[in-house]
């Protein structure tokens, strides 16, 4: 793979492949011309793309000449309309692979008006992906010699890896919920009901990544806890924690070296005894909605990639009701369990609106309180703060 972010790939970066005699291999493939419109060309293109997704990810570089697999010169491509060509390739990938993959396309302008097209395919943890174009039903992997069809044992391993990754994620979340329910937190935290938000990159449990979280110790302003105006930080075995002032704290965010974000906020309920029995529906939903983009920003600073598993849990909530309208006692029922472990959501795009991710979880909390759905969203899923 080219050792630059896709958006930073330019002619200088491409020339470095030539001067460095970078050879094709497991994560890079050179093509002098774009794939044609024949069925065979399209199948070959899809096989190349899926082989990267099923293995380690990689770059397809169109417009690069090679000899014996080593880049020799920028040959350029000459489509009549490059934008239309990109749309064509997007369409081929979208309809020819199952399940869909994540990738980016970068056109690069070079000296003399030459154009190079780089397609960066991300390593997928939701595969394996197969080519389904025109009855071509095969899975491909990749090694240093290029792509090849996966055999039965390799397919079994690929499916098992995908299942194992999600089992590890759920086991991690379960362990953390048990610890939090027993007040085993990285900093002393206010007792009582808590909001627990986890953002977990799938890649964190597919290998053994270690990210630089010390930047959040050097610059703790980059890692604000949920709903706080001032905070402290500390380093621990797993990473860096920022937490609200006071003893005990009411909020903390833990950035793990493996790439996980755990944000916990204790309910700051009204001191009146009756009010303690209600979930402040607008306040807590607004708080989580506003904080999820912060979690995504932190993960991107760490260098994590999507997909991201987002999970919301409410602990110590037995007996709580949902505060609705001016009359907090309006309808509803009390929650009948200590912990609401809500189904997680897989996020494939950093720009996915927080409401789209979180509304199904919020709805389930309202269900637990006897209501059909959150009243703070309209019929199209937009936050309207109706309560």
- The string of pLDDT tens digits covering residues 101-143 is 889 999 999 888 899 999 999 888 777 899 998 888 899 999 8
Higher pLDDT, 159 or 201: 201
Higher pLDDT, 158 or 26: 26
pLDDT for the residue numbered 358:
96
pLDDT reading at 271 higher than 60: no
- What value does the mean pLDDT of the chain take? 89
- Residue extents of the structural domains in the chain: 6-150, 158-368
Spatial separation of the C-alpha atoms in residues 265 and 182, rounded to whole Å: 15
Report the share of the chain in percent with pLDDT over 70. 95
**In the numeric block, which tokens belong to residue 25?**
């291999």
**Least confident among 33-37, 100-104, 154-158, 377-381:** 154-158
**Residue 295 exposure: Cα atoms within 13 Å on the Cβ side:** 32
User: Does the bond joining 137 to the residue before it have cis omega, within 30 degrees of 0?
Assistant: no
Give the homologous superfamily in CATH for domain 6-150: Schlafen, AAA domain (3.30.950.30)
Spatial separation of the C-alpha atoms in residues 353 and 56, rounded to whole Å: 29
Q: What is the pTM of this model?
A: 0.72
Mean pLDDT of 310-337: 82
> How, if at all, do strands 58-62 and 28-31 pair?
parallel
């Amino acid at each position: 793979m080219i050792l630059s972010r896709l958006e930073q790939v330019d002619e200088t970066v491409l020339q470095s492949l030539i001067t460095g005699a970078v050879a094709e291999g497991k994560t890079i493939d050179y093509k002098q011309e774009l794939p044609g419109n024949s069925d065979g060309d399209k199948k070959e293109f899809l096989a190349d793309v899926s082989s990267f997704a099923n293995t380690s990810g990689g770059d397809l570089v169109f417009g690069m000449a090679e000899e014996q697999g080593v880049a020799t010169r920028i040959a350029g491509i000459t489509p009549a309309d490059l934008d239309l060509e990109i749309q064509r390739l997007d369409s081929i990938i979208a309809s020819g692979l199952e399940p869909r993959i994540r990738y980016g396309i970068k056109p690069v302008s070079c000296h003399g008006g030459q154009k190079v097209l780089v397609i960066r395919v991300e390593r997928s943890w939701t595969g394996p992906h197969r080519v389904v174009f025109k009855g071509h039903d095969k899975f491909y992997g990749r090694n240093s010699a290029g792509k090849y069809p996966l055999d039965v044992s390799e397919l079994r391993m690929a499916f098992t890896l995908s299942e194992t990754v999600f089992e590890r994620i759920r086991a991690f979340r379960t362990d953390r919920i048990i610890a939090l329910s027993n007040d085993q937190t990285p900093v002393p935290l206010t007792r009582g009901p808590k909001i627990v938000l986890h953002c977990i990159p799938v890649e964190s449990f597919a290998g053994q990544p270690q990210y630089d979280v010390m930047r959040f110790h050097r610059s703790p302003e980059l890692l604000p806890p949920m709903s706080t105006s001032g905070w402290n930080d500390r380093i621990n075995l797993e990473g860096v924690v920022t937490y609200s002032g006071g003893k005990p704290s009411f909020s903390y965010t833990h950035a793990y070296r493996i790439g996980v974000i755990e944000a916990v906020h204790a309910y700051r309920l009204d001191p009146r005894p009756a009010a303690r029995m209600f979930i402040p529906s607008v306040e807590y939903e607004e708080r989580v909605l506003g904080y999820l983009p912060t979690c995504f920003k932190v993960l991107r600073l760490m260098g994590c990639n999507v997909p991201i598993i987002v999970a919301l849990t409410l602990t110590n909530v037995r007996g709580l009701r949902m505060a609705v309208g001016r009359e907090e006692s309006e309808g509803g029922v009390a929650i009948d369990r200590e912990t609401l472990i809500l189904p997680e959501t897989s996020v494939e795009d950093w720009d996915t609106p927080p409401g789209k991710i979180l509304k199904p979880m919020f709805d389930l909390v309202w269900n637990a309180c006897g209501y059909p759905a959150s009243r703070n969203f309209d019929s199209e899923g937009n936050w309207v703060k109706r309560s």
